[in-house]
């Protein structure tokens, strides 16, 4: 079975610090995509970053970057210079090419940025 | 650009009443459409997905149903709501070909009393 595991239910850091959220996944597929979504208190689900499994280069989006380790099936999210607006639930998700685009979701990590 | 709408934003319904939640997408054609439910503090549970008009696949047996009467419209329904149907319902879309990113609507908060 394909699964996504986020081992940190909750984390908190001071504003401007760097924080890393962990995610591991299990699959026998070779072609797949990985995502981090953010869900702030408004509960709208917002795409943060996406990684194609066939790309060795780690994806980056401004202050957000990933550490993608394909062999280890690990996909961590690093947030640099954290801001109060980064406070949210963060979900890691996985999809493979033949799944009719059905995402497999982790349980989420609640991230609190303290002033 | 593409946008996705959901309504209503909030709904309070008595047990046993019917339900109809609507999702529409603008700015694209032939999208894949998805209904998810999220209980408080939990992850997302896929309920239904659709790859075209009239084509619905169900992931979880329940008293909910979905329909896709038009290309960019996806409706979640129930004939009789249960207390356990309370939650946050999210609609999402993705392009039918070539991209795998799902984009979400603002969601509907449903409270069944």
Q: Residue ranges of the domains in chain A?
A: 3-114
| pLDDT(A101) > 90 | no
Nearest CA in chain B to A10: B41
3-state secondary structure of A36: strand
Which of chain A's residues have a Cβ under 8 Å away from the Cβ of B104?
37, 44-46
A32-64 tens-digit pLDDT: 899 999 999 989 999 999 999 988 899 999 999
Of A22-36, A73-87, A90-104, minimum mean pLDDT range: A90-104
| pLDDT(A100) > 80 | no
Domain regions of chain B by residue span:
3-112
Percent pLDDT > 70 in chain A is 97
How high is the pLDDT of residue A46? 95
Calculate the CA A1 to chain-centre distance: 20
Which of chain B's residues have a Cβ under 8 Å away from the Cβ of A35?
101
| Range B3-112 classified under CATH 2.60.40.10 | yes
Contact B100 A42 (CB under 8 A): no
Q: Assign residue B47 a region: left if phi > 0, alpha if psi is -120 to 50, beta otherwise?
A: alpha
Give me the CATH topology for the region A3-114. Immunoglobulin-like (2.60.40)
Mean pLDDT of A81-92: 97
Residues of chain B scoring pLDDT < 50:
98
């Amino acid at each position: 079975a394909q699964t996504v595991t986020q081992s940190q239910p909750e984390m908190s850091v001071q504003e401007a610090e760097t924080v890393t959220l962990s995610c591991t996944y299990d699959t026998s597929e070779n072609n797949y995509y990985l995502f981090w979504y953010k869900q702030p208190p408004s509960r709208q689900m917002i795409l943060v970053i996406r990684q194609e499994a066939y790309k060795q280069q780690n994806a980056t989006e401004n202050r957000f970057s990933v550490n993608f380790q394909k062999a280890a099936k690990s996909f961590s999210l690093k947030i640099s210079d954290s801001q109060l607006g980064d406070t949210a639930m963060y979900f890691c998700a996985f999809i493979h090419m033949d799944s009719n685009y059905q995402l497999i979701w982790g349980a989420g990590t609640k991230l609190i940025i303290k002033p | 650009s593409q946008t996705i709408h959901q309504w209503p934003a909030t709904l309070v319904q008595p047990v046993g009443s019917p339900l109809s939640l609507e999702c529409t997408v603008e700015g694209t054609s032939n999208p894949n459409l998805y209904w998810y439910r999220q209980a408080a503090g939990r992850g997302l549970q896929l309920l239904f997905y659709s790859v075209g008009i009239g084509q619905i696949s169900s992931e979880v047996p329940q008293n909910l149903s979905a329909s896709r009467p038009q290309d960019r419209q996806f409706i979640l329904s129930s004939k009789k709501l249960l207390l356990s149907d309370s939650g946050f319902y999210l609609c999402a879309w993705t392009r039918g070909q070539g991209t795998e990113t799902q984009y979400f609507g603002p969601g509907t908060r449903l409270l069944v009393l």
